[in-house]
Amino acid sequence: MTSTYGDWLKQQREAAGLTQQQLADMTVMTRSHIAHIEAGRRVPSKEDARRLDTALNTGDVLSSFLPQDEVAIADYFEAVCALEQQAVMIHEFALAYFPGILQTKRYARAVLGAAFPPVSEEECDRRVVTRLERAKILEDPVTPVVWALLDETLLRRPVASGDVMAEQIMHVVRLAETGRIRVHVMPFGVGHHPLMQGMLTLMWFEDQPPLAYGETDQMGKLHDSPTAVQELQHRYALALSDAMPLKESLALLRATAKEYGHHD
């Protein structure tokens, strides 16, 4: 969202002589949540806005002029990337490509190199580096907890050469085998399911409300509304209930990697 709403909130807070922590205490929120709202990175819930109005004596201004609950993100994770680094738990659903934080260098290059409109080699290199930097969150052995729900479509449609596909699939297998992530495959046989519209990332934080990021047709939306986030969480849970168990999913991943040419 634009920072106009956040700028006005900051002006009112400072005019009242309050620090972010003091305002957070008065509104039963966290200081970091106040900071994110002021910076234009988060949208307060209606209840948050009501409490802010009460604390700052601003009538119903903050409640009445809430930004749209869903915010369009033009450049993929431009606004979400920092939040991804702060998350303590991430649930991914992938339909066409493996999630960015799980991609290998060669797979990422194949995917990003096929972008339309085409990008220069230099720009492709920059995007690959950015994607690999995101994946470094998995270097921590515990946080964030990551669950990956993979539609079988992304296994069966090669977006790179056979050896690159096999390498990518086995990378995910190894992460799951070591316990760093959980992975479940949504098989073709399920048919229609609640997440078929596109990719979805759900994130939880220590001191902020959860959020969701969805992507379809080259456009992304950051969902900050508690109602919208909860609905997407429910859709994910419903889809996950139809997915293959971990053990069966890993067996399918290994078999598919073998079909692409992987040899143990």
pLDDT at position 3, please? 63
SS3 for 120?
coil
The closest alpha carbon to 123, from 111, 107, 108, 112, belongs to 112
In DSSP terms, 72 is beta-bridged to 221
Contact 67, 91 (CB under 8 A): no
Give the rounded distance of the alpha carbon of 34 from its chain centre. Answer: 21
SS3 for 152?
coil
The two three-digit tokens of residue 221, written as one number: 């939306």
Query: What average pLDDT does the segment 48-71 reach?
Result: 81
pLDDT at position 257, please? 97
pLDDT at position 204, please? 95
pLDDT at position 71, please? 42
Tokens 């930004």, located at residue: 67
Which stretch of 57-66, 80-89, 218-227 has the lowest confidence by average pLDDT? 218-227
DSSP 190: G
Q: Is the pLDDT of residue 1 over 70?
A: no
Percent of the chain surpassing pLDDT 90: 59
- pLDDT band at 207, cuts 50/70/90? confident
The closest alpha carbon to 42, from 208, 215, 158, 167, belongs to 208
- pLDDT band at 149, cuts 50/70/90? very high
- pLDDT band at 246, cuts 50/70/90? very high
Q: Phi/psi of residue 96, each to 5°? A: -110, -35
Residues 6+ apart with CB under 8 A from 191: none
Query: What average pLDDT does the segment 64-85 reach?
Result: 62
Contact 236, 214 (CB under 8 A): no
pLDDT at position 176, please? 98
pLDDT at position 123, please? 81
The length of the chain is 264
Segment 10-31, tens digit of pLDDT: 999 999 999 999 999 999 888 8
Residues 6+ apart with CB under 8 A from 218: none
Integer Cα distance of 12 and 208 in angstroms: 22
The b-or-e profile of 183-221 (16+ CB within 10 A means b, else e) is: bbbbbeeeeebbbeebbbbbbbbeebbbbbbbbeeeebb
pLDDT at position 77, please? 59
The closest alpha carbon to 81, from 146, 139, 34, 137, belongs to 137
Confidence (pTM): 0.74
